[in-house]
A = this chain, B = another copy of it.
């Protein structure tokens, strides 16, 4: 069963953005054992979209189309498909009702073009959109089935997972696939590969790597002829991988690192505080991304200036003058200050050079000091997170801070970037 993906939108053919949806969809299709034979992107042009349906339908049995379902003039995908299929549109009552409820809840006036989103091609079936206004739909025409999803990645992905993938797997017949994702941080893809290439996996299980900066996810994909066999195979494979590189695996259930840290702290009744310089609020932001973080995350200090470090954290002026703002003594004083000036049980202090300017021979861009403090004392490490740009240095640093908190709470050996 071959798949093709069509993306519509002038933003693609004018080069404003790359087609990230196609890559994501292809990866998920592959996880489900379905090969993609073609990606197509066309602009907001009715004839070009119809032409794309023809090209894709002649080469694949399953065609996934993203974009062009919104309320404005340049959203033409629905009209193009009606022309291609030779059908009119019909209002989906549930979708129209949902739009009315949403607009009422947001206390916003619904314009006529908003209602256009509830129109679907006659004979098609709605794909529910739990995270946005435009529903999707699917319909078979001349030997191929076309699935229509919004171009917004979050909505497109949620609808693929909830509706389209299960439909495709059912259409595929027979084979059962199981995927398990082991999230790791602290080893590179090639280091993991060196360790794991000697591990014998159960028959039918494939190990893959997915680099999602700054993490590496290990994908275990089991194919079998029953759910029980696939479950058993993927479990056995995970056990063998864990025996080899378990220390760098922080989650096997989809939780992100910030959620793991919060859960570990909550289970032990610990409150956390962070004092950030180079990460500028990113660690606090990641922790508070999680609903319910308020019972663990007590406060954060974004002490970008020296004065803020002295005022808010009590970092001694002599330390800043003798060792500099980016130094191990400053990181230690920040962590200790955050502990002393909060109601937290465990605090982190972060200072470094995110770049692109500010580096020196002794402390090049990417030099970061991370300290933690609790009632048993304080400790710090120096890291060199040289990466391509400022945002990567900051992301890598925030990730390392969370990993250090995880290891500190668990009492396992100090984080060490291999």
Contacts and interface: CB of A to CB of B under 8 A. Distances in A.
18 contacts: A12-B23, A13-B35, A14-B221, A15-B24, A38-B40, A38-B41, A72-B189, A107-B386, A132-B388, A284-B284, A288-B304, A291-B356, A298-B308, A299-B305, A299-B308, A299-B312, A300-B302, A308-B342
Interface stretch (A81-89, A275-283, A404-412): A275-283
Nearest to A151: B211
Interface stretch (A43-51, A167-175, A240-248, A371-379): A43-51
Contact of A394 (B14, B28, B189, B289): B289
Contacts of A74: 208-209
Interface stretch (A190-198, A228-236, A329-337): A190-198
The number of times this chain is found in the oligomer is 2
A349 to B, nearest CB: 14
B41 A15 contact: no
A142 to B, nearest CB: 18
A357 to B, nearest CB: 6
B72 A131 contact: no
Interface string A104-142: 011110010110000000000000000110000000000
B27 A23 contact: no
A37 interface: yes
Interface string A9-22: 01111111111101
A382 interface: no
A188 interface: yes
A398 to B, nearest CB: 9
A225 interface: no
A39 interface: yes
A37 B211 CA distance: 29
A70 interface: yes
A293 B354 CA distance: 11
A285 B152 CA distance: 24
A73 B389 contact: no
A343 to B, nearest CB: 6
Nearest to A284: B281
A302 B303 contact: no
A278 B70 CA distance: 30
Interface string A159-192: 0000000000000000000010100000011110
Given A18-B22, A24-B15, A193-B72, A289 B390 contact: yes
Given A38-B48, A213-B152, A304-B288, A23 B15 contact: yes
A15 B27 contact: yes
B311 A341 contact: yes
A401 interface: no
A148 interface: no
Contacts of A282: 281, 285, 288
Nearest to A44: B208
A272 B329 CA distance: 27
